[in-house]
Structure 1
């Protein structure tokens, strides 16, 4: 985390420094960006820089914490659902807001994997933990698999689906996500998750996009 002297800087100056750092990390990678080039571009002397951060990793942590905070803000808090339809509606709204944020903020998109990958626990998985717990309460999500594994798998599927959809939207491939009917991307994501949450998908259920638990 930043040193106390950084926190005493005006908010505009803090955001300028973190914004420059975010741009460099997004362009060159979390491991490839140069600390010296970042502080030079931000107009910070080396002496001042080490009063603000312990070093490159400290600055990177501050940037990734900011990225993660914005992703969680886009998702919004998970609120208990009334039933399966409400659970699906709330989940769809959160995942759509997250995808929209990533599409509108390419630097956050470039650093999302690094920001999420550094948190093996904490607020990111807490959101999906609340979702899984709520789904289990409603009988939508299986209980024969360890809770933490279900949470991690759910978060991974959602992140992969967001990355897939955004990548397809930015390509000129004729079968891109932009060519799919409206609502089909979240519908496919929901079918994936229902297969994960509700057990194996039978061959007949797969052809109709329904899991075995849906068919009951």
Structure 2
């Protein structure tokens, strides 16, 4: 994580550095990103990176985790994972799947945004496939899987998520579907209009529900 000196900067200064870094990593990935370009565009001297961060990887991880915080805030969850946990506990059996669908729809307005943290999120599937990707994204992957586990555990307690398979298996296959869907959508985003994108997001949610809904265990066409 970033060194304490970075956390002690004024919030506007921190955000400016993260924004510049976010755009650079979104444009060039991790391997292709230039620390010198980031420093130059952020108005920092050449040696100052190591005053605030351990290395380039630390800068990337700090930027990515800040992007995740911003995305939580955009969804009305300013407390990040803790706020998500509280939200999950408010879900009931009747509204569980509708709440998940609504959260999916909330992301539609952001997908084409030029905000630095949205651009970095769009680049995430590509960066994750870089040689260093699994190591660089480990903390965020852990956060995502932890959130999925909390959500599916709540659904199972409510009787709306299937209980015939191990929870960690459901988390694993749900995460795989999520990654594949994100990558496919990002690669084709510019070719879809808003109506097509909305329909695809709804169909994606239908796939997830078909796979996880307790009512579909043993279900046949």
TM bin (shorter chain): 0.7 to 0.9
Mark the runs of 5 or more structure 2 residues left unpaired by the alignment.
78-83, 129-133
Q: Which residue of 2 aligns with 1:194?
A: 209
Counterpart of 1:96 in 2: which secondary structure? Answer: helix
Q: Which residue of 1 aligns with 2:139?
A: 119
| Distance in 2 separating the partners of 1:67 and 1:10 | 18
Q: Which residue of 2 aligns with 1:67?
A: 67
Q: CA deviation at 1:56?
A: 0.8
| Distance in 2 separating the partners of 1:146 and 1:124 | 18
Mark the runs of 5 or more structure 1 residues left unpaired by the alignment.
200-209
Please, which moves more after superposition, 121-130 or 162-171?
Answer: 162-171
Give the total of aligned pairs: 200
| Distance in 2 separating the partners of 1:97 and 1:163 | 18
CA 1:97–1:65: 2 relative to 1, 3 Å: same
Q: CA deviation at 1:162?
A: 4.8
* TM-score, normalization by structure 2: 0.74
Q: CA deviation at 1:44?
A: 1.1
RMSD of the alignment, in Å?
Answer: 3.1
* TM-score, normalization by structure 1: 0.76
- The structure carrying a bigger helix percent of its residues is 2
Counterpart of 2:98 in 1: which secondary structure? Answer: helix
Name the structure, 1 or 2, with higher relative contact order (CA <8 Å, separation 6+). Answer: 2
Please, which moves more after superposition, 86-95 or 153-162?
Answer: 153-162
The 8 Å contact of residues 3 and 51 in structure 1, kept in 2 or not, is answered as: yes
Larger Rg: 1
| Distance in 2 separating the partners of 1:150 and 1:162 | 18
